Amino acid sequence: MANEAITAEASGTWTLGDLVVNRVGFGAMRLPQQGAAFDVDAVPSDRDRAIGVLRRARELGVNHIDTAAFYFSRLRSANELINSALAPYPDDLVITTKVGPGRDPSGAWQPHATPGQLRGQVEENLRQLGRDCLDVVNLRIVGTDSIAERFGALAELREAGLVRHLGLSNVGPDQLAEARAIAPVVCVQNSYGPGSPPEQDALVRSCGEQGIAFVPFYAIAGAGREAGVLSGADGDALLAVARAHGVSTAQVRLAWTLHRGPHVLAIPGTGDLDHLADNVAAGALRLSDDDLVALDALRGGGVV
């Protein structure tokens, strides 16, 4: 599958609240560093190269970028790179950010913000991105406790005009229901991919029924990532599908997630221009019914 002429428009669109986005977007998590994300000892990325990737993403029709203030290395900040590369922002560009976890100036993790700290995190994203209002803010959850107080704090910021739409990250169905009783939820961002257990399909399906975007992360995860890795005979089956289409296994993984429903979006991240083109091109990959049956069989069924 030639990538040169393929843009994000080929993936179709979805609406986050009142914001229309192409279903293939871009995740900024890996931009600030080389190697593993969130490793405080990672080598900072090349700034010009990172900015070039962001600008090329826009040229390829990407209008949905996922980021967070806690995406940074010793010398680089994803938000600062986005601001430098793309501001003044095009009218059609939607930037989704996350709050909840935090990192101190040394890069050390802090598990989650209190309701009172969330305003500071929202304001930090506003400053770094150079915006007066954030398009979408996801509350990133750690654990299974009640989220009512924290999500309620974000709902107040939405009412105050600092945030346009709200979403959730790393949640279960009970937490989604709890949040929706407080304010509208436009997206759920969870770990999900071909290596995920079939029981996760229920939440994907539920989001579609409620008109909520489902946005997988780690959809093309490598070893040790939460989405799971197919190996051995399973990996061979994935490779067979990829070879039949003349694409990479990473592109098949992305295409598989997009086939789970029209409400499923993709936010693959990379610091490499060639990988960026491949990721965007995956939005045009149409898997056959036989392909989908073969890939679903790797998970024990679970077709949505």
Cα separation of 297 and 291, whole Å? Answer: 10
Cα–Cα separations (whole angstroms), residue 185 to 41, 51, 55, 92, 204: 35, 31, 29, 20, 14
SS3 readout for 146-160: CCHHHHHHHHHHHHC
Cα–Cα separations (whole angstroms), residue 158 to 31, 71, 162, 164, 303: 28, 23, 6, 6, 36
Q: Cβ distance 118 to 99 under 8 Å?
A: yes
What count of other Cβ atoms lies within 10 Å of the Cβ of residue 61? 17
Cα separation of 59 and 54, whole Å? Answer: 9
71, 89, 192, 218: which one is catalytic? 71
Question: How large is the angle between the packed helices 173-180 and 148-159, nearest 10 degrees?
Answer: 40
Active-site residue flag, 71: yes
Cα separation of 133 and 246, whole Å? Answer: 42
The residues carrying an active-site annotation are 71
